[in-house]
Amino acid sequence: MTTIDYNHRIPNNVDLADDRKLTRALESWMPSFENWWRDMGPQGFEAADVYLRTAVNTNIHRESAWGHTKLTDYRWGIFLTDPEPDRKISHGEFKGMDVWQDVPGEFRNPLRRLIVVQGDTEPASVEQQRHLGATAPSIYDMRGLFQVNVEEGRHLWAMVYLLDRFFGRDGREEAQALLERHSGDADKPRILGAFNEPTPDWLSFFMFTYFTDRDGKFQLASLAESAFDPLSRTCNFMLREEAHHMFIGTTGVERVVQRACEVMREIGSDHPDDVRASGAIDLPTIQRYLNFHYSVSLDLFGAELSSNAATYFSAGLKGRFREITIDDDHVLTDAVYPVLSPNGLIIEKDEPALQALNTALQDEYIDDCAKGVKKWNRAIHAAGIDFELVLPHRGFHREVGQFADVHVTPDGGLVDREAWEARRDDWLPSPSDRSFVESLMIPVVEPGKMAGWIAPPASGINGQPIEYEYVKLRAA
């Protein structure tokens, strides 16, 4: 077997070259990963040279390597943030004790499950987005897509490192299974529902990176509170890259909104049919896409009341968002938390805080989502357009948790199934909406040029101009 030079091929700060057991595990897994990337990664751009950021240490914002490289030659990397001296467990039954550097035997199975679920989302999003390069609205956006893809691939490497390093044979089997499940596969789908949804167009991609990657932010942040220190340090580094994915979503949707407003002012009409006829995406359609991706992403938090979440917290395996900043005892044995539930009416009821941890994390997520929506609305109002994008009620279009068996309108009304289905196309993307949006997905590959349905970005990447050749489609 050929020995891989991990220090060169895979930038890392986990001493790969000196850990022969781990090296052998990765040598066995890497060919499967390369086959998966070839078969399920970005399609049709193997010969392209892409301007990518590659992590070379934990300071990605100042010391990353930048340059054109082929996607297949990307140096994935495994990084953990530097250990925090004398770090203590921040919550649960073991609060105040030293964090764990190895996996306690009694928590081996739940920790492995948490890592596998998180790890499963990383290749899933690459699979969902694999066809989007062929319809990119600009070279700038194409490069952004590929940067997200390679970083999701790197996040997969991070989870596989933990499985191989700390979970032995079970971990190696789980690492292999991460490449055997596929998004939307009828027989072996991805674990979480949102990661089996198709991403057929760029409006869906921008919504995904805004809403679904934002769920990733909160899941990673809660895992970063883990008493298992290697998991905490891994997730803290992943969060630094996740911020870029949400930036793509925030600015992407904003640019679609901006272009819609420009067209409305140019044609002197805000009627959706007129906006569409002028080659832009009308604001009501953007709202329906928002409703869909937001509601699907809320399901990723799990049930609002969860005994598993309580167990993970009490054991120290998973905390709340920014746990140490919360002003309580961090044990929650006697605490309560307000939870909405439908019972003829949607009512708020105090529930045991340990059982309601998913609700608390949802609340943080909802507040964070609202910030971007305010930004998009500022663009609409600045254009003098009388329209406002809104987050629908948290019970709208839910398939998990308290609202899974009821029908809630975007403004929070309870209706029967017949009434809900009659209004479905008013609230969620209809087949005609999706067909129209997909009809706009005509690639633009001249540097600096943009498709007619999206405004240019405010600036280029890493100090480069907007018209820079971020993707060289034909190698020199």
Average pLDDT over residues 324-352: 96
Phi first, then psi: what are they for 100, rounded to 5°? -95, 135
* Distance, CA of 367 to CA of 364 (rounded, Å): 5
- Please report the pLDDT score of residue 212 as a whole number: 96
Query: What's the number of domains the chain is made of?
Result: 1
Could you give the 3-state DSSP secondary structure of residue 56?
coil
Q: Is residue 49 part of a domain?
A: yes
The structure's pTM equals 0.96
Average pLDDT over residues 64-93: 94
Tens digit of each residue's pLDDT (9 = 90 or more) over 288-317: 999 999 999 999 999 999 999 999 999 999
Average pLDDT over residues 242-262: 97
Residue 22 one-letter amino acid: L
**Taking 70 as the threshold, does the pLDDT of residue 7 lie above it?**
no
Q: Is residue 189 part of a domain?
A: yes
Question: What is the DSSP-derived secondary structure letter of residue 190?
Answer: -
Dihedral (C-alpha) 105, 107, 109, 110: value to the nearest 10 degrees?
-170
Tens digit of each residue's pLDDT (9 = 90 or more) over 196-207: 999 999 999 999
Q: Is residue 329 part of a domain?
A: no
Tens digit of each residue's pLDDT (9 = 90 or more) over 184-228: 999 999 999 999 999 999 999 999 999 999 999 999 999 999 999
- Please report the pLDDT score of residue 1 as a whole number: 37
Tens digit of each residue's pLDDT (9 = 90 or more) over 39-72: 999 999 989 999 999 998 888 888 899 999 999 9
Please work out, in degrees rounded to the nearest 5, the angle formed at the alpha carbon of residue 123 by the alpha carbons of 117 and 125.
95
Its domain, for residue 248, covers 6-296+430-472
* Distance, CA of 466 to CA of 49 (rounded, Å): 17
Q: Per DSSP, what are the bridge partners of residue 52?
A: 67
Place 2 in a pLDDT band, splitting at 50, 70 and 90. Answer: very low
- Please report the pLDDT score of residue 475 as a whole number: 53
Q: Is residue 168 part of a domain?
A: yes
- Please report the pLDDT score of residue 77 as a whole number: 87
Q: Is residue 218 part of a domain?
A: yes
Question: What is the DSSP-derived secondary structure letter of residue 100?
Answer: B
55-64, 83-92, 445-454: lowest mean pLDDT where? Answer: 55-64
Q: What is the CATH number for 467?
A: 1.10.620.20
Please work out, in degrees rounded to the nearest 5, the angle formed at the alpha carbon of residue 98 by the alpha carbons of 55 and 77.
15
Q: Enumerate residues 6+ apart whose C-beta is below 8 A from 274.
A: 267
Place 5 in a pLDDT band, splitting at 50, 70 and 90. Answer: low
**Which tokens in the block code for residue 391?**
């987050």
Q: Is residue 388 part of a domain?
A: no
Quick one: 189 exposed, middle or buried, by C-beta within 10 A (0-12, 13-18, 19+)? middle
Q: Is residue 12 part of a domain?
A: yes
Q: What percent helix, strand, coil does the chain show, rounded to 5?
A: 50, 10, 40
Q: Is residue 22 part of a domain?
A: yes
